[in-house]
Structures are given as structure tokens and as C-alpha cells.
Structure 1
Amino acid sequence: MLLTRLSIVLALTISAWGSPSLSPHVRHETRRSLPHGWVPIRRAPSDTVLPLRIGLVQPNLADIESLLLDVSHPESPNYGNHWSPAKVAQTFRPSKESIDTVYEWLTSEGISASRIKLSNAGSWVEANTTVAEAEDLLRTEYHVYSHASSGVEHIACNMGYHLPEHVTKHVELVTPTLHFDVKHRGSENGLKRRSNSPVAKPGQPGFGPVSPKTTGSIKTILNELENCNEQITPDCIRALYKFVYVPVATKKNSIGIVEYTPQAYVPSDLDMFFTNFSSSQVGQRPTLVGIDGGVVQAIEEGFDLNGESDLDLQYSMALVGKSQPVTLYQTGDEIEGASFNNLLDALDGSFCTFEGGDDPTEDGIYPDPFGGFEGAADCGTVKPAFVISTSYSYNEADLTPSYTARQCAEYAKLGLMGVTILYSSGDNGVAGNSGECLFTGQEQGFGAPNFNPTFPATCPFITSVGATQVNPGAKVTDPESACEQVIFSGGGFSNYFAIPSYQKEAVNSFLTKFPPSYPKTMWNSTGSRAFPDISANGANYVVAVDGEFELVFGTSASSPVSASILSAVNDARLALGKKPIGFINPAIYSFKGAFNDIKNGTNEGCGTQGFSAVEGWDPVTGLGTPNFPLLLAEFLLLP
């Protein structure tokens, strides 16, 4: 009712205003180059309907780092005093001035007030427009783009769009425009789509810089600690990180693993794995939370569709043990799929429970117009687990700075609410997906010279996890090295995000003691967010996939293993009546000796050896791998 009244007031106000004073259009967002593989093939039909969504500027975002540090830095008197969803919503709700300005602009351009809708949380202004109307509003051209390898077609505007000068300061971004991970309607207008295959979505086989690799099936399982250099099992992880813990506060604690359809675990694979490594868990399954029609599909099988989920769940469940439930956030239906923002919509209750609001983004449209999930989009329907691990990513250059900034702010809001977010750092060293690097101007391609960081690993409000290995012939008690078997630990420096305060001392120490020998044109040396933050083993994992044991490699393993260890830290704190650890980066960068320093190995890519793992923090393995007893002790000393 409140929003209905607000819409009426806005309509009357707009009518009273009449035409606004004219102001020149200025460029609001620019893309210097297309994501690799996409080419324009024709102008978009002028009558194609676009779900235009205008993301309004959120107040107080400039202070979000300091607000997050206030509840997550060990020296803060407010450490652990996490916010409620309502407080998050109130703090970042766009102003009435921003809402009014955008409404006035749209109506002055001929979009009737009846076609304009304000999201309940006030974060987005929505209006379905034709391509012709959108081109006039944004002073741009829309084209149909085709992906060379898949034949999928996608509508986006040409390299940039414009807004009136008086409007631009009230708008963060507009979709669909430059963002190739954004899903919008169009199949009825002649766009080609593969069945069961969305445009540029996590979950598609081979998507992104994080994708587990296998060297094939294993004939004999070596389940002894002296064989951890050849095969990693749960016992190897426990030995490597001194991880011995029996949960005692399982009803208070929670851990979540994120998967994107069509990626799916195979139930019989879980039992096969548990039979060999954790017999008491045979028959146990993760708690399924389907987001936007997410289901554990059993139609298609193969390593590229089952390897990720099997790996994530087998190790996270075995490491936390039978008594601690593991929640599976299965995101996206089988037809359209989903993206990270669809997950955030479901998790971030501040957009959906405060004043009945939601945060609609066009990363997945539900009800699915292509015949999939027929329900409404999940928005604020899922209570976030205390620790959430995701083993998917984009190249940072795939997305625009405005898009990544808005999404990164959502991770900060989850941190304010006490949630620990972990992302794999990437499997291609300093290169991006499939070894793509950057030319001058951020154009991606093979043979390019410049390093290509991954996202969300570069977001300063998540914990990025790199990969290590037990060296061939080494003992499980010997120091690990950076992973150089099959994959290379993703790491480097963001081209979009500035260095956060909690990281400055560690990164500056690295740059002073071990200055990279590469020209500064090859990596961002201007004081940017560096990654990863921590690391864990990422080589030679024994995983049951489609009825066979295979050797699996990737930061896909490092993230859920780290999440399991951090979940045990939460369990111990909750058992003592303390708060969950929440956003851990300010704390872990202040700890001394809580991580095993990795001093060997590199993360090659882009025709180079990449960076080197050295004493202290480095852009290969971060602070190092967890030493569980010391890490637990540090966190238990905090309020």
C-alpha cells in the first residue's frame, strides 16, 4: 500500500512538473572491447521489447568499507555487532530525489507513468521499452551479438550509453546495456538460443576462469598419508592443516555451497565417496535450497556437469562431519540458468523483507519466459548461511566497472550481516578464462601481454582462495608450494578496485621486498585490490564422478575446503556464545602465524611465469594455507 501511494504521488508530481529543464547527455558507461568470442551481426529489431532496469545510486556506499570494518576489524569496539537486514536496507535505500529525477526523465521522453514501476526496495526503476525507445533514451544503438563457439545470440548496446547530465549522478547502471552476463527477453524476436543454455551463465560447462580439471580415472585409491603427494583425500586435508574438530553447536551453525544449474551432484557419487572416506555419512545428502527453480538435474551427465558439484559437496560434507548439515544453494532452472546476482537476490533479505521489498535484476527472469521455472524470482527467500563458498567466476574484464561495483557492494552488505563469502581465485594463474589475457584498452584475447584478473576474486569484500599442492615426492608434513599441476593459482591485481585498507601493509611489503620484474603496463601497479587472500590445496583430489574415482584439480577444491575449516571456527565461537566470524579479511590480515606461509611456486600465464610465492603475502597463495589450531585460537580470543 505504501508503494502504491508512492507511485500515485510520483505520477501526480511528474504531471505537475511538466517537462524538465533540458540537460546535455553525457556518457555514463563505456565498454572498450567485447568479451572474447562475441561479434555484432546485425542491428537489433526496433520493436524488440527490452526490460529496461535503472539501478539507482545507493547512499552511503562511499562509506561501506569503513562501516564493514567497524564490525569486522579486531581492533574495533563493535567487532561482531553485525547489522540486521532492516538496518542494511535503511542505510543504503536510494533517496526520493533519485527516484523522482529518473521518473521525471522517463516521462519527459514519452514513457508513460503507467509503464514505470519502482521496485519495492526503491533500488531499481523498471520500464519495459522497445529497442527504438531505449536507443532514444540512452543515445546508443542496440545490436544482436553472436558467440563464435556456441552460436548463442544476445542483445546489447554498442560500446557505451548516455544519460542526461542531471540524471547520471542518480544512476549507478542501466541494464540491459553493456553487460554480457545479463539475461533478457528476446527469443520471440528471432534470437538463437541453445536448449538448456543461457547466455554467459555460471554453470555452463567450461564457463569462466574457475572450472575443475581432471587427469582421468583412478585405478587404485591410495588412502594413506604417505600418498598425499599423489592423491588428496579428506585425511590428507586434515593432516595438512591440523584440522581435527568435532562440531558441538551444529544447530546454531550453518555452511552453504553454491552451484549453478546445470551443474549437479550425483547422489550415488556421494555414497561411493562416503563408503571409502566417511562411512557414517553414506545416505546423507545436502539440504537442498532451490533458488529460481534450481534443481539437481539428472538429465545430462559427464565430468563437465557433475565434477564441480561432486567435488564441492563430497569434501565439504566429509570435512564438517555428519552432525553439521551442509546447505546446497542450487541456483537457476534448467532452461534459463542464473548468475551471481540471482543468488544475491535470494540471500540478501534487506531487499525483500524490509517493507516487503525486492531487488529485481535481469540476470534471470522468472517466471522463465523460455518455458522453465514458472514461479516468481526468489528474492530474500533464503537465510544466508554463516559461511558460503562459490567455485565459479568471470574474467573481471567481462563486466563493466559499474556492474562489478554494484555487485561487490552486495557482498559487503552480507558481510555487515555476519556472512563469510569465499570465492575461488581462478585456475589460470595471471591469465583469465582459457588463458585469455589483455591488450591495451582491456580487450581480451589469446596472445595478449597483460594480466587478466578474475571477478569476484577482485572484490575487496569477499575472501579469495588460491591453490597449493603437495609437491611430487614430498611428505604431507613438508611445506606445500603454489599449485603448478594441471592448474595455476589465480592471483594478481584488480583493474577496477582500489586496495582496501586492511590489505595495504601486507601488499606494500610484498611490492617493496619482491617488486615484480614485469613492466607496470602488464599489471595494475597503481594501488589496487590484490588477490588471493588465502589458499588451500588444489591438486590431485580423489573425487567420485559418475561412478568412477577421478583425480581433480582446481581452486574449485580450495574454496569449499577453506569454508569447511572456517565453519568449524564458527562452531567453536557459537558454542561459547560468541558471534560468527563474518567478513574475515580484516582479522586474518592482522593475525600473526595463523597461516602456513607458502614460499615456492609461481602462477604462470600470459606468456610469463606470473608472480612468485614468497615469504609473507603474495599474489599467488595470499597469506598461505590455514593452520587450524592457531587460526581457531586467534578467533576465539576475539569478542
Structure 2
Amino acid sequence: MLGIRALVVLAALLCAVAAPSSSSPFVVHESRSHVPLGWTPLRRADADMILPLRVGLAQPNLENLEAYIMDVSHPHSSNYGKHWSAAKVAETFRPTAETVDTVRAWLTGSGIEANRVKLTSNGGWLTADVSVAEAERLLGTEYFVYQSANEDQRHIACHEKYHLPEHVSKHVELVSPTLHFDARVGEVDSRPVGLERRNNEARKSSKYAVGQPGFGTSFPKTTGTVEAGSSYGVSLTIALTWGPKQPKVNALLVEYTPQAYLPADLDMFFKKFSPSQVGERPIMNSIDGGYLQTEFTNFSYNGESDLDFQYSMALVGSKQPVNLYQAGDMVEGASFNNLLDALDASYCTFEGGDDPTYDSIYPDPEGGGYEGPEDCGTIKPAYIMSTSYGYNEADLTPAYEQRQCAEYAKLGLMGTTVLYSSGDGGVAGNEDLCLNADGTQTANGTMFNPSFPGTCPYITSVGATQVNPNATVWEPESACEQVIYSGGGFSNVFKMPSYQKAAVERYLSEYPPPYSSAQYNTSGSRGFPDIAANGANYVVAMDGEFELVYGTSAASPVSAAILSAVNDARLAIGKGPIGFINPTIYTAEFMMAFNDITTGSNPGCGTEGFNARPGWDPVTGLGTPNFAKLLPLWLALP
């Protein structure tokens, strides 16, 4: 019979065989406090189910990202406007050999055969198909199958958190599939009849693609049809009188299938407000099978795109082309990450690449959708990009948001201005959901619910103003309080960037909000929006009628058109694009070139939200852009 000492030794040996090989203790690498709204655990995942494990490798120099972009974007920098090439960006953030070797050694030392572990061509991630049992052992977690509230979708994810060996953790950004749920589930399936339903537990369905009807924090709102003779909207189409000097492709709008504009609607709008443009169309750039679908036509499918192109094209005029990036097919759709893959080849593998559990995968592995190659670095980024879609920040994990936000910084390094609408729910999130103390989102929550990507410090977030009732366009505007409220507040994920520190701290000091950390993040985080534009009373040609439309989704493309005219003027005199504008617009001289908004607020979560005040505020940002004042300031820069 074995003695007690021998039993202890035998037990230790057995544990050593069963446990993952590691030279350091396990630490929590990523966690969440709750399952996203609309999902419930159904059962433990089968131990033999195969998962496409992806380990995102840590990128060097991310800690220097803000310094890099400030160097080329701050007007007082000697390197202002000296934007980087795509090759320099890729090389700067490529994972090191030490990182690759450390993570590979952990995987193979934990029982994953070496021939199963693959390094992607760009060196951004290590991949291996593993069983659930192997993944649970590697990550010190448990996997569950989750079911949506309406029982039409299932998703596989690990429970609460996962672990990595401490010496490995510093070389890894994220692991998938693990915690990530891309979006909340609605009460009904809003996909068009006839679209294929997906039930593969390891993947998302097209229901969570960005372009689904009514999706997101910034989908425009309508109060119905108006008379064709209405004077609403005319002020916007004639406000910008700049005549293009350098007709180059430097502005674009991003749309996600099944959202699509209708050519007949463009002509109807142009005939009324800009007759010389009848027959004009945006330049189409298809990403991952994106196309102008016409099978489904109503406000939910055409509202966003019709609005975006009617006003942006009318503002820049007939001599300045506007590009359309149409992302995703009708079956899979697309996410922001699918767009970013097409713009920058290095992003396809950056920090482990996209998550196949919710970013759309092309070619469509199940058939029925776009079966061409994934667009990866196939589209040249334009000088100005405007997107009118968004999530609640709480819909996504911080790791997912930080990875994507870093890519917007990379685009800024290459000279692209990226605008996102800030949301239409005031301090509340999409569907007026607010946060609870445990991080869940409910209609009766009391904590403010910021939007994403609006809170990313490397994009320009655009809020909404209004021409006050019975006032003229020449009188001061206020924060939008008709139909929608300008999204704004403070991030729960991103720290305050240096460029806005003085402006935000001035607001908090001189006009302290009547709230505590029980309502919003008071620890010094990113404030948004950065700027604003009119978001009320847009007349839009929609399916053969004029409708009255509201939203920050209108303010963003209008701002993009104004900034496009600035780029046009700079290009005409041999200068480069303005690129990432935030470090510039927060300087004292540029802040004076915005129309300051000092009245109105953005209610939500049982409060009146924040108040617009002199200077920057978390309702309308710095105010609305004054083209006549901004143009000479930007022309004077190198």
C-alpha cells in the first residue's frame, strides 16, 4: 500500500499532467459582470464541440499611440500634416518574435499539437481549432450555449471571465471566442422575410449586422410626410457656398446592407433643392458583397442612406464627388470591423483580428451569401469618412472597443478624418436603456449609457442642435430637443485624451453637473461629442414622398461635407488633408471658429442630462462649425 507521502507525490504528478503547462500563475485576462441584455445561458457547451480559437497577439507601441497621432495632428507640432504610409503603420504595430514564440510555446506546452497552431500571414494572431474541453482547460473557464430572448438565435461564449498564464497574458490582447456578444437582441426578428436564418451556435447571424432596420443609437427618426413646398431643409442646402477648386475624391459615407439609398429619391430631392444635380449618384465601392438592394423599401431600409446622400451631395455640389462604401451582403451583413478590414490590410490581423462569433465572415462559410474573398486592404481610405450608426458602449466588451478604437487612430495617422454620430437618446442609450450598478441595461436604469464609437478618443463625435421653433437660421441654435436628444456624456471605457483635457475640466469646474459617480463616470474619462450640427427638421425624399427627419445621423454627414470643402481648399494649394481634427479644433484659436451653443440639454435616465454651456459641453461639444472662420485657419496650417 502506498504511504501518505507517496500519495501526495502521485497526486501532484497527476495534477501536473492535467493542468496547462505554465511557468507562472493564471491571472484573469478579461471579464464581464453580466450577460448582455436578451441572452440567457441554456446549457453547458458539449465538450467535443470544435471552436476556432484565435489568440490576438499584443502589438508593440500601442502605449505610444496618442503621442504618434498628436505628433502629426496637433497644429503646434513641427510634424503637423506629415501623415504616415500604410506600410509604416503596419510595421510599427507588428507583433514581435518574442510575443509569437511565447504564445506558441504556451499552446503547444498545454497539449495543442504544433501542427494545429497556425500563425497568420501578417503575424497578428495564432489560431487553432480546439474542442470546448481543450479551450476550457487552456483558459480556466467554462463555455455555455446562450439563447436569445425570442429563442431564434444561439451563441457560444465562456462564463464571466477567462484566464491566461501571467507570463503569457502580457503578450495577448484578447482571445476569441470567449466573452464577446456584439449587440443586444430585440424582441422580434427584424430581418426581411426570405433572408436565411442561421443557427450555428459558434456564429452570429445577420440580425446583428450594423445595417439592420432601425439598428443602433443614431438611426434617424421621422414624424411623417410633409408638403413638397415646405421650406424646411432649404437653409442647409444653400448654407455652404464653397465652389470646389480641386475635384478629387476626398469624402465618403459608409452604409451597411440592407440600408441603401434609392436613386429616384435622390432625383426627387435634387429636383426640389438642387436642380443641377438631378441624375448624379455617389461613387459606389462595394465591400464584402455590398450592393444597393431594392427588394425592401421603406423608412427602415432607405431612411439613413437617403438622408445621408441627399444632404451631403447637395452641400458639396456637383463638382465634388461623394463616395459610398456599401458594406456587407443581404445574408451576413457587416460590422464596423468588416469595413476597417477593407480599409487597412493590417487590421485584418491586428490584435487577433475579427471575432468570428459576431463579425461577418467572408467568403460565407455556410453558402447562400457573398462567396468572394474577404475585402482586406482593398479600399483606399478617403480623406473624410462619416458613419451614422452606433452601439451602446455597454453592448460590447472593452477589449473589442479598444481594438477598434486603435484602428481609428491608425486611420488618423494616415490622414483620414473619421466622424461618427453621437446618438439620439441624450444620456441614455439606444432604445432609452440606461445602466444599472451591475452593468446591465434596462429601461429603469439610473446610470448614463454612452455610445460607441462616439466615445473613442480617435474619432470626431458629432452631436445635434436645432433651429429653435419660430426662430430663423440666423439666430442662435440650441441643443436638439425635438424628437431626439443629442447623445453626449462621458465614456466608461476610454480615458480623457490630452487634447480635450483643458476644455472638459473647464466645463466640470465652472458648470459642475448636479450628478455623482452614481450617474456617470467622474474619474476623468473621454467626453463626447466634439462638435455638433443641426439635427432637426430635415426634409428628405423617401420612397416617393417628402418626410421630416431628425437625428445626429443627419448632423454627421453635414459636418463631413463642410470638412470636405476645407480639404478641397487645402488640396488646391498643394497642402495635405486635415486628417484627425480633434487636437486642432480644441486649440483656443479654432474653438473660436465654432458657433457656441449655450442652451438646451440632453435628458435621459430620469434626469435632464447635461446642460449646454459656454465652451465645450457634453451635449453639443465645441458647437457647430463656422466654415467662413474655419477655412482661413486651416489654410494657414502647413
TM over 0.5: yes
Name the residue aligned to 1:94: 95
Give the counterpart letter for 1:76 in structure 2. Answer: S
State how far apart, in whole Å, the 2-side matches of 1:99 and 1:106 are: 11
State how far apart, in whole Å, the 1-side matches of 2:150 and 2:275 are: 43
Name the residue aligned to 1:631: 630
SS in 1 for 2:206: coil
Give the counterpart letter for 2:336 in structure 1. Answer: F
Question: Which of 523, 526, 542 is the equivalent residue of 1:526?
Answer: 523
Report the CA distance between 1:238 and its aligned residue: 4.0
State how far apart, in whole Å, the 2-side matches of 1:305 and 1:150 are: 25
Name the residue aligned to 2:304: 308
Please give the TM-score of this superposition, normalised by the length of structure 2.
0.91
The farther-off stretch of 122-131 and 586-595 is: 122-131
State how far apart, in whole Å, the 2-side matches of 1:83 and 1:470 are: 40
Answer yes or no: is 1:201 the counterpart of 2:209: yes
State how far apart, in whole Å, the 1-side matches of 2:153 and 2:214 are: 15
**1:416-443: CA deviation from partner (whole Å, max 9, x where unpaired):** 0000000000000001110111111322
State how far apart, in whole Å, the 2-side matches of 1:54 and 1:353 are: 10
CA contact (8 A) 1:180 1:199 kept: no
Report the CA distance between 1:315 and its aligned residue: 1.0
Name the residue aligned to 1:321: 317
Evaluate the alpha carbon distance shift between residue 49 and residue 99 of structure 1 in structure 2; reply closer, same or farther with a 3 A threshold: same
Report the CA distance between 1:569 and its aligned residue: 0.2
State how far apart, in whole Å, the 2-side matches of 1:187 and 1:174 are: 27
**1:348-393: CA deviation from partner (whole Å, max 9, x where unpaired):** 1445799xx9955531111112320101211100000000000111
CA contact (8 A) 2:340 2:347 kept: no
Report the CA distance between 1:40 and its aligned residue: 1.8
Structure 2 counterparts to residues 64-83 of structure 1, below 5 A = 64-83=65-84
**1:325-345: CA deviation from partner (whole Å, max 9, x where unpaired):** 111111111111111111111
Evaluate the alpha carbon distance shift between residue 198 and residue 352 of structure 1 in structure 2; reply closer, same or farther with a 3 A threshold: closer
Report the CA distance between 1:102 and its aligned residue: 1.3
Taking only aligned residues, the RMSD between alpha carbons, in angstroms, comes to: 2.2
Question: Which of 314, 327, 330 is the equivalent residue of 1:331?
Answer: 327
Give the counterpart letter for 1:92 in structure 2. Answer: F
**1:143-172: CA deviation from partner (whole Å, max 9, x where unpaired):** 222222573222222121111222111011
CA contact (8 A) 1:353 1:380 kept: no
Evaluate the alpha carbon distance shift between residue 129 and residue 353 of structure 1 in structure 2; reply closer, same or farther with a 3 A threshold: closer
Report the CA distance between 1:179 and its aligned residue: 1.3
Name the residue aligned to 1:153: 154
State how far apart, in whole Å, the 2-side matches of 1:123 and 1:90 are: 11
State how far apart, in whole Å, the 2-side matches of 1:634 and 1:199 are: 45
SS in 2 for 1:128: strand
CA contact (8 A) 2:21 2:110 kept: no
Name the residue aligned to 1:411: 408
CA contact (8 A) 1:424 1:556 kept: yes
Give the counterpart letter for 2:392 in structure 1. Answer: N
Identity of aligned residues (%): 63
Q: How many residues align?
A: 603
Give the counterpart letter for 1:529 in structure 2. Answer: R
Question: Which of 265, 269, 292 is the equivalent residue of 2:265?
Answer: 269
**1:271-326: CA deviation from partner (whole Å, max 9, x where unpaired):** 11111112222121111111111111112221111101111111111111111111
Give the counterpart letter for 1:86 in structure 2. Answer: A
The farther-off stretch of 432-441 and 152-161 is: 152-161
Evaluate the alpha carbon distance shift between residue 46 and residue 282 of structure 1 in structure 2; reply closer, same or farther with a 3 A threshold: farther
Give the counterpart letter for 2:337 in structure 1. Answer: N
Answer yes or no: is 1:212 the counterpart of 2:211: no
Name the residue aligned to 2:583: 586
Name the residue aligned to 2:236: 236
**1:93-120: CA deviation from partner (whole Å, max 9, x where unpaired):** 1111111111111122232222222222
Evaluate the alpha carbon distance shift between residue 193 and residue 381 of structure 1 in structure 2; reply closer, same or farther with a 3 A threshold: closer
Question: Which of 477, 482, 490 is the equivalent residue of 2:479?
Answer: 482
Name the residue aligned to 2:7: none
Evaluate the alpha carbon distance shift between residue 499 and residue 419 of structure 1 in structure 2; reply closer, same or farther with a 3 A threshold: same
CA contact (8 A) 2:177 2:355 kept: no
CA contact (8 A) 2:54 2:352 kept: no
State how far apart, in whole Å, the 2-side matches of 1:86 and 1:353 are: 14
SS in 2 for 1:587: helix
Question: Which of 540, 544, 548 is the equivalent residue of 1:551?
Answer: 548
Question: Which of 418, 438, 441 is the equivalent residue of 1:441?
Answer: 438
State how far apart, in whole Å, the 2-side matches of 1:313 and 1:327 are: 10
Give the counterpart letter for 1:320 in structure 2. Answer: V
The farther-off stretch of 119-128 and 357-366 is: 357-366
CA contact (8 A) 2:427 2:604 kept: yes
Name the residue aligned to 2:31: 30
SS in 1 for 2:270: helix
Question: Which of 455, 459, 462 is the equivalent residue of 1:458?
Answer: 455
State how far apart, in whole Å, the 1-side matches of 2:203 and 2:67 are: 44
State how far apart, in whole Å, the 2-side matches of 1:182 and 1:469 are: 30
State how far apart, in whole Å, the 1-side matches of 2:349 and 2:277 are: 36
Report the CA distance between 1:43 and its aligned residue: 2.4
SS in 2 for 1:151: coil
CA contact (8 A) 1:349 1:382 kept: no
State how far apart, in whole Å, the 1-side matches of 2:136 and 2:304 are: 40
Name the residue aligned to 1:293: 289
SS in 1 for 2:265: helix
Name the residue aligned to 2:130: 129
Name the residue aligned to 1:347: 343
State how far apart, in whole Å, the 2-side matches of 1:507 and 1:189 are: 46
Answer yes or no: is 1:221 the counterpart of 2:208: no
Report the CA distance between 1:35 and its aligned residue: 2.1
State how far apart, in whole Å, the 2-side matches of 1:21 and 1:538 are: 55
State how far apart, in whole Å, the 2-side matches of 1:221 and 1:175 are: 54
SS in 2 for 1:428: coil
SS in 1 for 2:620: coil
Evaluate the alpha carbon distance shift between residue 308 and residue 150 of structure 1 in structure 2; reply closer, same or farther with a 3 A threshold: farther
State how far apart, in whole Å, the 2-side matches of 1:470 and 1:88 are: 42
Structure 2 counterparts to residues 157-172 of structure 1, below 5 A = 157-172=158-173
Structure 2 counterparts to residues 99-114 of structure 1, below 5 A = 99-114=100-115
State how far apart, in whole Å, the 2-side matches of 1:285 and 1:21 are: 59
State how far apart, in whole Å, the 2-side matches of 1:492 and 1:261 are: 30
Name the residue aligned to 2:611: 612
SS in 1 for 2:208: coil
Answer yes or no: is 1:571 the counterpart of 2:568: yes
Evaluate the alpha carbon distance shift between residue 361 and residue 42 of structure 1 in structure 2; reply closer, same or farther with a 3 A threshold: closer
State how far apart, in whole Å, the 2-side matches of 1:361 and 1:399 are: 12
Q: Which runs of 5+ in 2 are unaligned?
A: 1-19, 185-195
**1:49-89: CA deviation from partner (whole Å, max 9, x where unpaired):** 32222111111111100110000000000000000011111
Report the CA distance between 1:177 and its aligned residue: 1.4
Report the CA distance between 1:556 and its aligned residue: 0.5
CA contact (8 A) 1:181 1:199 kept: no
State how far apart, in whole Å, the 2-side matches of 1:311 and 1:192 are: 36
State how far apart, in whole Å, the 2-side matches of 1:104 and 1:192 are: 26
Name the residue aligned to 2:190: none
Evaluate the alpha carbon distance shift between residue 365 and residue 467 of structure 1 in structure 2; reply closer, same or farther with a 3 A threshold: same
CA contact (8 A) 2:425 2:487 kept: yes
Report the CA distance between 1:481 and its aligned residue: 0.6
CA contact (8 A) 2:154 2:201 kept: yes
Name the residue aligned to 1:561: 558
State how far apart, in whole Å, the 1-side matches of 2:201 and 2:347 are: 32
Give the counterpart letter for 2:596 in structure 1. Answer: D
Evaluate the alpha carbon distance shift between residue 192 and residue 167 of structure 1 in structure 2; reply closer, same or farther with a 3 A threshold: closer
CA contact (8 A) 1:51 1:126 kept: yes
Give the counterpart letter for 2:260 in structure 1. Answer: A
Give the counterpart letter for 1:79 in structure 2. Answer: Y
Evaluate the alpha carbon distance shift between residue 105 and residue 330 of structure 1 in structure 2; reply closer, same or farther with a 3 A threshold: same
Give the counterpart letter for 2:620 in structure 1. Answer: T
Give the counterpart letter for 1:635 in structure 2. Answer: W
State how far apart, in whole Å, the 2-side matches of 1:317 and 1:422 are: 17
State how far apart, in whole Å, the 2-side matches of 1:487 and 1:164 are: 47
